[in-house]
Amino acid sequence: MTSIGIFGWQGRMGRAIAQEIERVGETLAGGVDQGGDPVELAGRADVLVDFSSPSALAANLAAARGAGTPIVIGTTGLNDRHHAMIDEAAAEIAVLQTGNTSLGIALLSRLVRDAARRLGPDWDIEIVESHHRLKVDAPSGTALMLGDAAAEGMGTTLSDSGVIGRAGLVGARAGGTIGFASLRGGTIVGDHQVVFAGEGERIELGHRADDRALFARGAVRAGLWLASAPAGRYTMDAVLGV
Ligand SMILES: NC(=O)C1=CN([C@@H]2O[C@H](COP(=O)(O)OP(=O)(O)OC[C@H]3O[C@@H](n4cnc5c(N)ncnc54)[C@H](OP(=O)(O)O)[C@@H]3O)[C@@H](O)[C@H]2O)C=CC1
Ligand SMILES: O=C(O)C1=N[C@H](C(=O)O)C[C@H](O)C1
C-alpha cells in the first residue's frame, strides 16, 4: 500500500482526496494546512499531493526534496518563479504539476493544440472558464494549460500571445492573440470552453466538471503512479497515457 500525504488537506480538494484514498484502499499519511509542519509529513509519506496555495509551494517543495518524496502539485495560480522552483526540484525528485487532473482535460488539451495548428492564423482563439465564487485565482490553471496548448499549436507562447481580460476602449482584437475570460459564481465546479472564431463560423471545444471527486480520482491516480517514478517533471499525460 502507498502512503499519501496531503498539503491543504482540510480544503475542498484535500477532503475529496482523503475520501478517494480511503475509497481505493490506500493509506492516508496525514495532512497539513497553514501553520502545519510539511517536513514531518514529507518524512513519513511515500508520496505527497499539494492542493493548497502558491504561497505554500516553496516550503512544500523544500520538504519534499529534503525527504526525497515525490510530489503531485495541483495548486493553481502559479507564476514563472513557482515554475522555476518546480524545475529545480524535479532535478532531484519526481514532480508532477498540472492545473487539472482529469482525463477529459488531458484529451481536450490535445484537441486544442491540434485544432490551433490545423486552423491557422485566421481563426481567433478565446478561452472562457467558469468556477465557484470561492476560487481565488484567475484565469484558472486549466485555462492557462489550454492556452499553452493553443499557443503551441499556433507556434507561439502564451507569454507572447495571451490577453487576460478586456475592459474599456481596448481597440480591435489583435491577430494571433489568445484571449481569456473568467466567470465566478455559485458552486460551479469548473467549466472550460475554447472558442475558435473564424469568418462566418465558430468551433467550440469544451469540458464541464460535475463533481470535484473527478479531480480527486486523478490526483490519487497521479500520486500512485508518481510514487515509483524517477526524478523528473511530469504531467498527467504520462499517467493517463493519452
Ligand atoms: N489540479 C487540479 O485538478 C485542481 C486544482 N485545484 C487547485 O487546488 C487548490 C486548492 O483548491 P481548494 O481545495 O478548492 O481550496 P481551499 O481554499 O478549499 O483549500 C486550500 C487549503 O490549503 C490550505 N493552505 C492555504 N495556504 C496554505 C499554506 N501557506 N500552507 C499550507 N496550507 C495552506 C488551506 O488551509 P487554511 O484553511 O489553514 O488556510 C486549505 O486547507 C487551488 O489552487 C485550486 O485551484 C482545485 C481543483 C482541481
Ligand atoms: O479552484 C478550483 O476549484 C479548480 N481549479 C483548477 C483550475 O484552476 O483550473 C481546476 C478545476 O477547474 C477546479
Cell numbers that stand for 194 in this block: 475554447
Ligand 1 atom nearest the C-alpha of 59 is 30
Closest by CA position to 189, among listed 131, 128, 105: 131
Domains 3-101+213-240 and 103-209 agree in fold:
no
Ligand 2 atom nearest the C-alpha of 144 is 9
ipTM metric = 0.99
Domain residue extents for the chain: 3-101+213-240, 103-209
pLDDT tier for residue 242 given thresholds of 50, 70 and 90: confident
> Is 156 among the annotated ligand-binding positions?
no
- Give the model's pLDDT for residue 207: 98
pLDDT tier for residue 241 given thresholds of 50, 70 and 90: confident
Distance CA 25, CA 104 (A): 24
Distance CA 205, CA 118 (A): 14
Cell numbers that stand for 195 in this block: 472558442
Ligand 2 atom nearest the C-alpha of 129 is 12
Q: Strand 190-197: give its sheet, edge to edge.
A: 162-164, 178-184, 124-131, 190-197, 202-209
Q: Is 98 in the pocket of ligand 1 (CB under 6 A)?
A: yes
Ligand 1 atom nearest the C-alpha of 137 is 45
Q: Is 74 in the pocket of ligand 1 (CB under 6 A)?
A: yes
- Give the model's pLDDT for residue 57: 98
Q: pLDDT per residue over 167-222, tens digit each?
A: 999 999 999 999 999 999 999 999 999 999 999 999 999 999 999 999 999 999 99
Which residues participate in catalysis according to the annotation?
Answer: 131, 135
Closest by CA position to 193, among listed 211, 184, 181, 201: 181
Cβ-based neighbour number of residue 201 at 10 Å? 8
**What's domain 3-101+213-240's architecture?**
3-Layer(aba) Sandwich (3.40)
Cβ-based neighbour number of residue 79 at 10 Å? 8
- Kindly state the average pLDDT of the residues 141-162: 98
Cell 482526496, located at residue: 17
Q: Is 161 in the pocket of ligand 1 (CB under 6 A)?
A: no
Mean pLDDT for all residues in the chain: 97
Q: How close is the Cα of 100 to the center of ligand 2, in Å? A: 7
Ligand closest to Cα of 207 equals 2
Closest by CA position to 58, among listed 79, 43, 40, 44: 79
pLDDT tier for residue 37 given thresholds of 50, 70 and 90: very high
Q: Is 207 in the pocket of ligand 2 (CB under 6 A)?
A: no
Q: What is the pTM of this model?
A: 0.97
* Stronger pLDDT, 32 or 242, i.e. the higher one: 32
Q: What is the DSSP string of 105-130?
A: HHHHHHHHHHHHHHH-TTSEEEEEEE
CATH class of 103-209: alpha beta
> Is 212 among the annotated ligand-binding positions?
no
Q: How close is the Cα of 140 to the center of ligand 1, in Å? A: 13
Cβ-based neighbour number of residue 211 at 10 Å? 10
Q: What is the dihedral sign for C-alpha 76, 82, 110, 194? A: positive
- Kindly state the average pLDDT of the residues 6-27: 98
Q: How close is the Cα of 190 to the center of ligand 2, in Å? A: 6
Cell numbers that stand for 175 in this block: 491577430
Q: How close is the Cα of 99 to the center of ligand 1, in Å? A: 12
Q: pLDDT per residue over 61-111, tens digit each?
A: 999 999 999 999 999 999 999 999 999 999 999 999 999 999 999 999 999
Task: Give every CB contact of residue 86 below 8 A, 6+ residues apart in sequence.
Answer: 57, 61, 73, 78, 95, 97, 233
Q: Which helix (H) or strand (E) holds 233?
A: strand 232-234
